[in-house]
Chain A
């Protein structure tokens, strides 16, 4: 597995989530550029199906990044997103897959420091856990 790049997918809301990512890049913060970001209108749009499909198709870890829960652009979207993430975590536990592979984060668009922290946390986790099912992919 030497040299294998971890596959991390991040679903970011187009408001605070993606803005936080863009701001951190513009602020010169460093983070692993291999992370695949998927912009969604709101984390309330992220379905459990999207997360599972990403894992099924080869992602090692998936994170969902939305607005702060009391400051969501669509009021309750990031709460919905968290509920979906929790449901998928439960499903993963039931099938014996590490539920830590999926995480929900919240950030304000002005938190330039937070996005690199999230990415490094998930990339480190992906390196630690490796691909689902071992090295063969």
Chain B
């Protein structure tokens, strides 16, 4: 899932300070699971900002809202009146949610309340770690199911670098060396021969280096006729 972190409150307060009516919109998907922008976090943020305003004698109105998935227009549409009825929207979703609102209502100002971080998994309660960078060309079938692109600081493809020592990464001694983990995994899977396989230089054209990526599934797209029908229903 996408893991994000709330921006410091003073930064958020500074962003929204010039506006009178602020709609704060959270998301019940990834950012709710990583405890950054779900219903509770939105309410706590609004409450903290109200306490700040009370202390400083500032008059500002906040409305706390949450949608199921802020990156999908259909869900955002449900709070359209509230969004457009406010002077500014503070999105407590990942950057995708904030940009969805921005794209839907281009003349309406939308600010991010979170810093979007990683594609991560919960390791334990309250701890998330990055395990994918979305390079667009997955190779974990050859590395024992462990991604060396995200989990190795240097994204090495053919074994550990010279800095790996005692199974730890030289960039951060608290981090396990990804290739040490790959070796262990391949060993218990009796597939150690893969470690000797030379992987050629990675084709990064599927990654972000080529600019904005768009994924299309032709069979799921609506034909012009279907679009017209859908619009008629709405």
Contact = CB atoms under 8 A, between A and B. Distances in A.
B48 interface: yes
Interface of A: 47-49, 52-53, 55-56, 91-92, 94-97, 132-134, 136
B184 to A, nearest CB: 33
B151 interface: no
Nearest to A136: B57
Contacts of A97: 51-52, 55
A133 B55 contact: yes
Interface centre among A95, A133, A136 (most CB of B within 10 A): A95
Interface in B31-84: 40, 43-44, 47-52, 54-57
A100 B43 CA distance: 22
B1 interface: no
A95 B13 contact: yes
Given A56-B51, A56-B54, A96-B56, 17 more contacts: A47-B40, A49-B40, A49-B44, A49-B47, A52-B48, A55-B47, A55-B51, A56-B47, A56-B50, A92-B48, A94-B8, A94-B9, A94-B48, A95-B48, A95-B51, A96-B52, A97-B51
B10 interface: yes
Contact of B10 (A55, A95, A132): A95
A95 B44 contact: no
B4 to A, nearest CB: 17
A133 B48 contact: no
Contact of A48 (B44, B52, B55): B44
Contacts of B10: 94-96
Contacts of B49: 95
Q: Chain B binding site: helix, strand, loop or mixed by DSSP?
A: helix
A56 to B, nearest CB: 5
- The 3 A-B pairs at the shortest CB distance, nearest first, are namely A94-B9, A95-B52, A52-B47
Contacts of A52: 44, 47-48, 51
A134 B54 CA distance: 9
17 contacts: A48-B44, A52-B47, A52-B48, A56-B50, A56-B51, A91-B9, A92-B48, A94-B10, A95-B10, A95-B13, A95-B51, A95-B55, A96-B10, A132-B51, A133-B55, A134-B57, A136-B57
Contacts of B51: 52, 55-56, 92, 95, 97, 132
Contacts of A136: 57
B98 to A, nearest CB: 21
A59 B10 CA distance: 22
A55 B54 CA distance: 10
A37 to B, nearest CB: 21
B17 to A, nearest CB: 12
A47 B38 CA distance: 14
B209 to A, nearest CB: 36
Given A94-B9, A95-B10, A53 B54 contact: no
Interface centre among A49, A53, A92, A134 (most CB of B within 10 A): A49
A52 B57 CA distance: 17
A23 to B, nearest CB: 33
A56 B52 CA distance: 9
A32 to B, nearest CB: 23
Contacts of B54: 56, 132-133
Contacts of B43: 49
Contacts of B57: 133-134, 136
